[in-house]
Chains A and B, each alone.
Chain A
Amino acid sequence: MIQFLGRRLFYSIVVLLLASIVAFVGTRIAFDPTARLSQVRDKEVRERERERLGLDKPIAVQYAKWVGDFAQGDMGTSEVTRQPVATMLGSGLSYTMQLMLWAVILSIIAAIAIGVYSAVRQYSAGDYIFTTVSFIGISIPPFWFAFIAIQFFVFQLTAWLNLSRPIFYFVGLHSTGASGFNIDYLQHLFLPVLVLTVQNIAGWSRYQRASMLDTLNSDYIRTARAKGVPRRQVITRHALRNALIPVVTVMALDIGLLFGGLVITEQIFSIPGMGRIFVQAITNGDAAVLTSWTVVAAFFVLLFNLIADLAYGWLDPRVRIA
């Protein structure tokens, strides 16, 4: 297992290095970090900035310096905000992780529960309902669902219940002047988490259902039932554990991608997370932020791949032996 883990870790580092080269060269080709200064009337400003950023040096030299600094935790300084990129990404991650934490926990619980229910009660009314709702959930674009959710939970609900102000809010994670974990936080958290959760549940529950159906129809499950093992025990202790293996892969990949992929949700709900940082960096041509952002996003994809591999080992002893 340690050998397996070591090998995966080594591959991950190589992939991360390759990703960093692609990210660095790509952003250097696509963005001129001094472009935003083209309209500054003082013409020397742009030249001075090029020298300051070391853009007059060969790209290989620039990359070597950047990767060396990055390895020591120095991601450079944003060319637009003059803030350390590490600080910006740290702040963005803290917001994104708040959304992720709740969305992933709720999604996993709900998706597994729905998937198992649909498989065990295949072709029942409940299965049809969950199947239909899941397909709707998969088909709905997140931005559309976000606006519908805002319209319903903020405006319609307030009107129906005749409240003086909405139960749920959609600007940021706190009201003006509020902070900490409290009702206000939950009131703000509900809608963005709902938007993320609906899509995740819809997709993951379909995988869980298909995987569970395969497992339930396998010989060892029939044997267990024939030996008189109670139905609930067969489902939870024998079938579910095996059925989780393919689902865990999908979940891990999706979670890894989510770290950089909350662009629309964060934009609509005005949450200054990784997605919004990415949009702003693209808009401003902030190459320093974009490069590090891409590498950090790649890191999380690889990290969750690794976690998926570990989860395999835990769920399936054959992986550990291999």
Chain B
Amino acid sequence: MKLRKYVVTTVALFALLSMSLAACGSNGSNGNSAAADGTLVVGADQEPDCLDWLATCSGASWGTYAALVTTLPQPYETYASDSDSGAYVYAPTGLLAGEATVAPGSQQIITYKLNPAAVWSDGVAITSADFKYTFDQIMSGEDIYDTTGYANVESVATPDPQTVVVSFKDSYAGWKGLFSGGYGVLPSHLLEGKNRNAIMKDGYSFSGGPWKLDGGKSGWEKGVSITLVPNENYWGTKPSIKKVVFRFITDTSAQFQAFKAGEVDFLYPQPQPDWFPAVKGGIEGATIKATADTSSVEALWLNNSKPPFDNESVRKAIAYSLDRDAIVKRLFGPLGVNKAWQSFNPPIVAAYADPAGFSGYTLDLAKVAELMTSQGYAKGSDGYWARDGVKASFTLKTTVGNKRRELTAQILQAAFKTAGFEMKIKTEDAGVLFGESGPTGDYEMALYAQVATGPEPGNCSIFCSVNIPTEANGNSGNNWTRTNVSGLDDLLQALDVEIGNAKRIEISKQADLLIGLSATSIPLDPLPNTVIYRNSVRGPVADNATMGPFWNMNLWTLKG
């Protein structure tokens, strides 16, 4: 009996010892230094659904950040041109020999000149045929995610391998986003005549960017990680990091624990209050950069077709019920974001936004009383406004499981109660909120973010009356707030086709003012982005609001 006890104890101690030895002596990539073996491990919030960037399954942001902008060539990239204003601009990438030219005349014709040095990972030149192939796939392929802008194109001509001429039948102001943003140029010599989706959806071996998937399809281990290695044939600055692994860690708390334990070296987490204290206190050996200059605007979306928000005065009273700066400070103060955003154009297009439309809406209960009484409302003994026996009551819908939004809803509920409005909270699955409640108008107030895909102003899709979902159009418009403001359609539609930037700024600001004055909905905050990385990661590391933080990863190094 004693002998057995000794054996068991010895085995247990031996196992613990061998594990300790493995921990001390292993050369794996779990160490506290990202530079241990030249591998950078990134904790990714989200796993992409597929890597066929043209297909409807490619909507996940992390797919774009990790594998699109790193492997596919794009003619234009976006970056923050002005750190003070936060405004983003398009700039030609190394794929182009210079800025694309816009031909004079009434028809919009864009000519791209390609860099002759640009080649795919197999050494074949990137040519105009690749642009033509990509365009043809977008316009005639099956299950295409988005044809906006491409549908305005009349033809894509290829007079020579280094020249692409895009002629528009209808002008399109956001032309620099074509073949860029959520798409990229595809290699026609590898895909022409084949099933693009089958070749790309689970990962692909080709690359026209600084990185490629490690081993092609095997670079994406489903449920676990995406691994990138340098594209040895990249014509620009080649990466110095040997390998980048995006590990899928969907739980925010687990991400931070993994970072502290040295299992990951880089985080780009969703802004959630539970990790703000950790960031505020700092993390030893790590750099934290938070920015409010992002492409997202979190807002209170009001259904303008449903009581009580079908009444403009009530909408304005709602806006005067809130101290939005205080709410933003409460939510994002630890990240240094203390001011409400005053436009539906996000910070990356700040130049096109006019804050005057909304900045006048500050907490003013006297103004609330004035607006409500002017509409025949009176406060009841319960402290709520009521008219004809009907209480000023509404339900706020937001996405389930989002702690930040749940906290925001609770803050709003208290503020509205003080102002005399009864607000109930209902959380819904994102698919239900964005797939059913929004399009069918089955809500009164909703809390979610609008995300811009590029530095383009304009909100016609969400505020033009022609885009109000109706049964006639199969509830397919995106104007879920049912906004119908006189003169707004003309301005927003003009903005989408106007090419002159000065004129665009003027039109956009007029539209912003109109939206603010009618309080169709209420912007709250720019959702801040945060990058957290080990100090061993060096180089121009910063958030890019539209392309993600890994767009210039070929310029990063790891300190040994």
Contact = CB atoms under 8 A, between A and B. Distances in A.
Given A82-B197, A268-B251, A45 B429 contact: no
Contact of B261 (A45, A46, A154): A154
Contact of B24 (A155, A164, A270): A164
A250 B31 CA distance: 42
Contacts of B29: 175-177
Contacts of B264: 171
Contact of A285 (B144, B223, B429): B429
B263 A183 contact: no
Given A39-B478, A42-B148, A82-B57, A164 B31 contact: yes
B222 A43 contact: no
Contacts of B250: 267, 270, 276, 279
B55 interface: yes
B50 A35 contact: no
A267 B252 CA distance: 10
Contact of A177 (B16, B28, B43, B401): B28
A214 interface: no
B430 interface: yes
A140 B154 CA distance: 64
B430 A165 contact: no
A191 to B, nearest CB: 11
A38 B439 contact: yes
Q: Output the residue of B18, B257, B473 with the most chain A CB within 10 A.
A: B257
Contacts of B201: 82
Contacts of A270: 247-251, 254, 258
A49 interface: yes
A93 to B, nearest CB: 12
Contacts of B227: 176
Contact of B431 (A168, A169, A284): A284
Contacts of A282: 429
Nearest to A173: B224
Instruction: Indicate the member of A34, A168, A184 with the most B CB atoms within 10 Å.
Output: A184
A242 B339 CA distance: 70
Given A164-B31, A177-B39, A276-B223, A184 B247 contact: no
Interface residues of B, number: 70
Interface in A154-186: 154-155, 158, 161, 163-172, 175-178, 183-184, 186
Contact of A170 (B41, B147, B254): B254
Contact of B435 (A36, A158, A166): A36
Interface in B26-59: 26, 28-32, 39, 41, 43, 47, 49-50, 52, 55-57, 59
A300 interface: no
A283 to B, nearest CB: 7
A42 B254 contact: no
A175 B263 CA distance: 8
B470 interface: no
Interface residues on A, range: 35 or more
Contacts of A80: 49, 57
B378 to A, nearest CB: 40
A270 B41 CA distance: 14
Interface string B421-459: 000000001111011101100000000000000000000
Contact of B434 (A38, A42, A176, A279): A38
A280 B55 CA distance: 19
Contacts of A48: 143
A272 B224 contact: yes
A184 B50 contact: no
B474 A178 contact: no
A76 to B, nearest CB: 15
A155 B143 CA distance: 47
B532 interface: no
B278 to A, nearest CB: 13
B240 interface: no
B257 A175 contact: no
A43 B32 contact: no
A172 B247 contact: yes
B26 A172 contact: no
B31 A165 contact: yes
Nearest to B264: A171
A49 B249 contact: no
Given A35-B432, A36-B435, A268 B254 contact: yes
B174 to A, nearest CB: 12
A279 B430 CA distance: 13
A276 B251 CA distance: 11
A283 B251 CA distance: 14
A46 B476 contact: yes
A88 B478 CA distance: 33
A25 B126 CA distance: 50
A272 B222 contact: yes
A223 interface: no
B410 interface: no
A48 B261 CA distance: 47
B22 A41 contact: no
A39 B148 CA distance: 12
Nearest to A182: B22
A163 B22 CA distance: 11
Contact of A36 (B23, B43, B59, B225): B59
A175 B30 contact: yes
B476 A184 contact: no
Contacts of A41: 146-148, 461, 478
A117 interface: no
Nearest to B461: A41
B257 A170 contact: yes
Given A177-B29, A268-B251, A155 B57 contact: no
A307 to B, nearest CB: 28
B253 interface: yes
Contact of B247 (A39, A158, A171, A183): A171
Given A49-B56, A150-B257, A165-B30, A32 B435 contact: yes
A274 B57 CA distance: 21
Interface in A83-110: 83, 88, 91-92, 95
B55 A82 contact: yes
Interface string A26-42: 00000110111111111
Contacts of B145: 40, 42, 45
Contact of A43 (B224, B257, B476): B476
Contacts of A123: none
6 contacts: A41-B461, A154-B261, A171-B247, A276-B250, A282-B429, A285-B432
Interface of A: 31-32, 34-43, 45-49, 52, 78, 80-83, 88, 91-92, 95, 147, 150-151, 154-155, 158, 161, 163-172, 175-178, 183-184, 186-187, 267-270, 272, 276, 279-280, 282-285
Interface of B: 16, 18-20, 22-24, 26, 28-32, 39, 41, 43, 47, 49-50, 52, 55-57, 59, 143-148, 151, 197, 201-202, 222-225, 227, 245, 247-251, 253-254, 257-258, 260-264, 401, 429-432, 434-436, 438-439, 461, 473-476, 478
Given A82-B201, A184-B22, 8 more contacts: A42-B148, A47-B474, A78-B49, A92-B223, A165-B24, A165-B32, A187-B23, A270-B248
